[in-house]
Amino acid sequence: MSSHTLLKTYERNFPLDTKGLERIKDALEFARHIHKGQKRMSGDPYVDHVIATATTLAQWRLDSQSIVAGLLHDSIEDCAVSPDELSKRFGEDVSFLVEGVSRLGSLRYHDAQESVESLRKMMLAVSKDLRVIFIKLADRLHNMQTLSHLPQKKQKRIAQETIEIYAAIADRLGMQHIAGELRDLAFPYVHPGEYRWIRTNITEPYEEREAYLKKIEPIIREHLKKTGIEPFSIDYRAKRVYSLYKKLLRYDMNLENIYDLVAMRIIVETVDECYSALGIIHQLWPPMPGRIKDYIALPKPNGYQSLHTTVFCVNDRPTEFQIRTKAMHEFAEEGAAAHWFYELQKGRSSAPTLNRREVEWVKQLKDWQNQFPGSQEFIDALKVDFFSDRIFVLTPKGKVVDLPVGSTPIDFAYHIHTDVGNSCIGAKVNNKIVPFDYSLQSGDIVEILTQKNKKPSAEWVRLVHTKYAKKKIKSAIKKTTSLPKKTEYKLTCENRIGMMKDVSSVFSRSNIAIEHIHSTTHKNFVTLRLVANINDQEKAGRVLLKLKKLPGVREITSKSVIH
Ligand code: MN
């Protein structure tokens, strides 16, 4: 793959940044060097993959650090380049980003993941900087584009993970374009049958629909022009295959009912023009009740803004229109990545001013962040600090455990199960033994070493952070101290007069209280079960011998019990 598009795209985005361009060229050379001889499953040179990743990042208008990190994103994992070397050659920032991407790579998604939501949150928490997520998304995009070269079993898992985790994260960040693309790439691997069905059934209605909209376009253009609106673009793009599938599931798989199979998209300059255009369309064709949506006044949670309406268009055909400004359109497509670009521009002397939409966008992200408990403030440069008081760690099997910051391995153990906590004798984090007061970090893989019949120590109360673990430790300690062991005897003896008196006098002579006694009689024999207040094995043995010597006692056993 050529690096031409990458360099051209960067130059176009940042025409003045020759330094940045040089850094990218440097990184290109370095990437070619370290990946030399490595091949992808497709047989292509490995370096093509990192160039493709970096090119996507450039198309998202990200900064040179992100692009350099994109070129080097597999250098730690696949080429054993050390973070130190990266930071010496390309700076702290790049090294931090590459390390972040490598760390994300070690998080595994399992089919039966109990909490996909936790894994998504964890991805964000572990990243710490949204650019790490951007690189990971660009990486995943190329991996999905070349997924057909992987073994079938892997394909499905990766595709599933792409929908559940990466597309969902992109959605949250308002990056609809990449979210949609990832889902469409994954769909054929996850639901091959449904995919084929849609493919065969959609071609005709889609082409027919497109021809229809093509006829309508000049009518709209003409009426907009009369009001002085010169749209940036009017286009009609087919609904994405995966989102069409999701919608079809809700509409009995009946394509007739999907009005936005191909929607008309009108991009104008100002918000006022959006509303004017909506008015013009409603004057031309009557709107369908309940289908007018004002996402400008009330944006979607991910920041999406647009006006939607479905009208009975030419020949009374229900047709969806989407109207938005150019800025809204960019945010709809690129979301957080577009915001990043504007943030960068803002820092430059020739910066275009931050418009109202962008402020709205930041507000949306803030709202999103507020949905998670305890998060404080949104960091200016979109640093991921959504979960400032939570950490996300993993069991050796890859289950995500969500704990407060400051939690220790013992907190983790009690979180898994009370028995695991009580019988804990040590902990390994990322395969190394750690002390009990080790403060767990997001992304840590935690393994608890246990031993049967182990009891928690009172000292642990000071080593744990969660109230839950404290409570469990205290109750376990209480159990072992305030409820000492007792001894239960079972005797089989002759049913003779004075037997019971003889037995009880053995105890009273030794000043031992009998707590409980139960007898059953069978003809000439009686079985006695009694619990005595003895927690000392030696003493219990002495009593046993005395009982054994009583006339008429045939058999006797004893065991210690907790009562
Ligand atoms: Mn990669």
pLDDT in tens, 369-427: 444 322 233 323 333 334 456 677 888 877 778 788 889 999 999 988 999 999 999 99
- The alpha carbon of 12 and the centre of ligand 1 are apart by a number of angstroms equal to 25
Tell me, yes or no, whether 163 lies in a domain: yes
- The alpha carbon of 141 and the centre of ligand 1 are apart by a number of angstroms equal to 10
Average pLDDT over residues 141-153: 93
Tell me, yes or no, whether 345 lies in a domain: no
Give the pairing of strands 400-404 and 390-394: antiparallel
Could you read off the pLDDT of 222-250 as tens digits, one per residue? 999 998 999 999 988 778 889 888 888 88
Looking at the structure, tell me whether residues 23 and 149 fall in a common domain.
Answer: yes
Catalytic residues: 77-78
Q: Give the pLDDT confidence score for residue 121 in this predicted structure.
A: 67
Q: 104, 35, 105, 95: which is closest to 65 by C-alpha?
A: 95
Q: Which residue has the higher pLDDT, 119 or 72?
A: 72
Q: Give the pLDDT confidence score for residue 356 in this predicted structure.
A: 40
Chain-centre distance of CA 266, in angstroms?
Answer: 35
Query: Which among 334, 355, 378 is the end of a domain?
Result: 334
Could you read off the pLDDT of 2-59 as tens digits, one per residue? 899 999 999 998 888 899 999 999 999 999 999 999 999 889 999 999 999 999 999 9
- The alpha carbon of 49 and the centre of ligand 1 are apart by a number of angstroms equal to 7
Could you read off the pLDDT of 177-195 as tens digits, one per residue? 899 999 999 999 999 999 9
Average pLDDT over residues 156-174: 84
- The alpha carbon of 168 and the centre of ligand 1 are apart by a number of angstroms equal to 19
Q: Give the pLDDT confidence score for residue 372 in this predicted structure.
A: 37
Tell me, yes or no, whether 353 lies in a domain: no
Q: Give the pLDDT confidence score for residue 370 in this predicted structure.
A: 44
Tell me, yes or no, whether 361 lies in a domain: no
Residue 405: exposure state from Cβ atoms within 10 A (0-12, 13-18, ≥19)? middle
Looking at the structure, tell me whether residues 22 and 100 fall in a common domain.
Answer: yes
- The alpha carbon of 50 and the centre of ligand 1 are apart by a number of angstroms equal to 6
Judged by phi (left if over 0) then psi (alpha if -120 to 50, else beta), residue 559 lies in beta
CA distance 420 to 447: 11
CA distance 551 to 256: 96
- The alpha carbon of 75 and the centre of ligand 1 are apart by a number of angstroms equal to 9
Q: Residue 193 corresponds to which tokens in the numbers above?
A: 């049958």
- As a residue count, the chain comes to 563
Task: Report the CATH number at residue 8.
Answer: 1.10.3210.10
Residue 435: exposure state from Cβ atoms within 10 A (0-12, 13-18, ≥19)? exposed
DSSP bridge pairs for 562: 485
DSSP bridge pairs for 393: 401
Q: Which residue has the higher pLDDT, 65 or 125?
A: 65
Looking at the structure, tell me whether residues 162 and 16 fall in a common domain.
Answer: yes
- The alpha carbon of 554 and the centre of ligand 1 are apart by a number of angstroms equal to 78
Looking at the structure, tell me whether residues 288 and 325 fall in a common domain.
Answer: yes
Q: Give the pLDDT confidence score for residue 366 in this predicted structure.
A: 42
**Which run of H or of E encompasses 326?**
helix 326-334
Q: Give the pLDDT confidence score for residue 126 in this predicted structure.
A: 66
- The alpha carbon of 385 and the centre of ligand 1 are apart by a number of angstroms equal to 25
Give me the amino acid identity at 110: H
Could you read off the pLDDT of 437-480 as tens digits, one per residue? 999 987 788 999 998 888 888 889 888 988 888 888 988 887 76
Looking at the structure, tell me whether residues 171 and 54 fall in a common domain.
Answer: yes
Tell me, yes or no, whether 303 lies in a domain: yes
Looking at the structure, tell me whether residues 205 and 324 fall in a common domain.
Answer: yes
**Which run of H or of E encompasses 403?**
strand 400-404
Q: Residue 487 corresponds to which tokens in the numbers above?
A: 């001894």
Task: Report the CATH number at residue 232.
Answer: 3.30.460.10
- The alpha carbon of 154 and the centre of ligand 1 are apart by a number of angstroms equal to 15
- The alpha carbon of 137 and the centre of ligand 1 are apart by a number of angstroms equal to 10
Q: Give the pLDDT confidence score for residue 223 in this predicted structure.
A: 94
Tell me, yes or no, whether 451 lies in a domain: yes
Q: Give the pLDDT confidence score for residue 135 in this predicted structure.
A: 93
Q: Give the pLDDT confidence score for residue 342 in this predicted structure.
A: 58
Q: What are the Cα distances from residue 229, in Å, to 221, 266, 278, 279?
A: 9, 11, 12, 12
3-class SS at 557?
strand
Tell me, yes or no, whether 266 lies in a domain: yes
Whole-model pTM: value is 0.63
Is the pLDDT at 363 greater than 50? The verdict is no
- The alpha carbon of 129 and the centre of ligand 1 are apart by a number of angstroms equal to 18
**Which run of H or of E encompasses 391?**
strand 390-394
- The alpha carbon of 356 and the centre of ligand 1 are apart by a number of angstroms equal to 36
The CA R_g of the chain, rounded to the nearest whole Å, is: 35
- The alpha carbon of 56 and the centre of ligand 1 are apart by a number of angstroms equal to 13
The residue range of the domain holding 522 is 485-562
Percent pLDDT > 90 in the chain is 36
Q: How many domains does the chain have?
A: 4
Looking at the structure, tell me whether residues 128 and 15 fall in a common domain.
Answer: yes
CA distance 412 to 335: 36
Is the pLDDT at 355 greater than 60? The verdict is no
Instruction: Report which DSSP code applies to 285.
Output: S
Looking at the structure, tell me whether residues 150 and 261 fall in a common domain.
Answer: no
Q: 363, 355, 291: which is closest to 325 by C-alpha?
A: 355
Q: Residue 556 corresponds to which tokens in the numbers above?
A: 């006797």
Task: Report the CATH number at residue 552.
Answer: 3.30.70.260
- The alpha carbon of 467 and the centre of ligand 1 are apart by a number of angstroms equal to 41
Q: 82, 62, 32: which is closest to 135 by C-alpha?
A: 62
Looking at the structure, tell me whether residues 548 and 460 fall in a common domain.
Answer: no
- The alpha carbon of 46 and the centre of ligand 1 are apart by a number of angstroms equal to 9
Give the pairing of strands 233-238 and 446-450: unpaired
- The alpha carbon of 101 and the centre of ligand 1 are apart by a number of angstroms equal to 9
- The alpha carbon of 325 and the centre of ligand 1 are apart by a number of angstroms equal to 35
Query: Which among 175, 204, 223 is the end of a domain?
Result: 175
| Residues, CB-to-ion distance under 5 Å, ligand 1 | 74, 139
Could you read off the pLDDT of 285-322 as tens digits, one per residue? 999 888 899 998 887 766 788 999 999 988 888 889 99
Looking at the structure, tell me whether residues 313 and 412 fall in a common domain.
Answer: no
Residue 528: exposure state from Cβ atoms within 10 A (0-12, 13-18, ≥19)? buried
Query: Which among 299, 334, 369 is the end of a domain?
Result: 334
Tell me, yes or no, whether 111 lies in a domain: yes
Is the pLDDT at 137 greater than 50? The verdict is yes
Looking at the structure, tell me whether residues 322 and 469 fall in a common domain.
Answer: no
What is the rounded average pLDDT for all residues in the chain?
83
Looking at the structure, tell me whether residues 153 and 80 fall in a common domain.
Answer: yes
- The alpha carbon of 100 and the centre of ligand 1 are apart by a number of angstroms equal to 13
Q: Give the pLDDT confidence score for residue 381 in this predicted structure.
A: 30
Average pLDDT over residues 544-557: 89
DSSP 494-546: E--TTHHHHHHHHHHHTT--EEEEEEEEETTEEEEEEEES---HHHHHHHHHH
Q: Give the pLDDT confidence score for residue 339 in this predicted structure.
A: 62
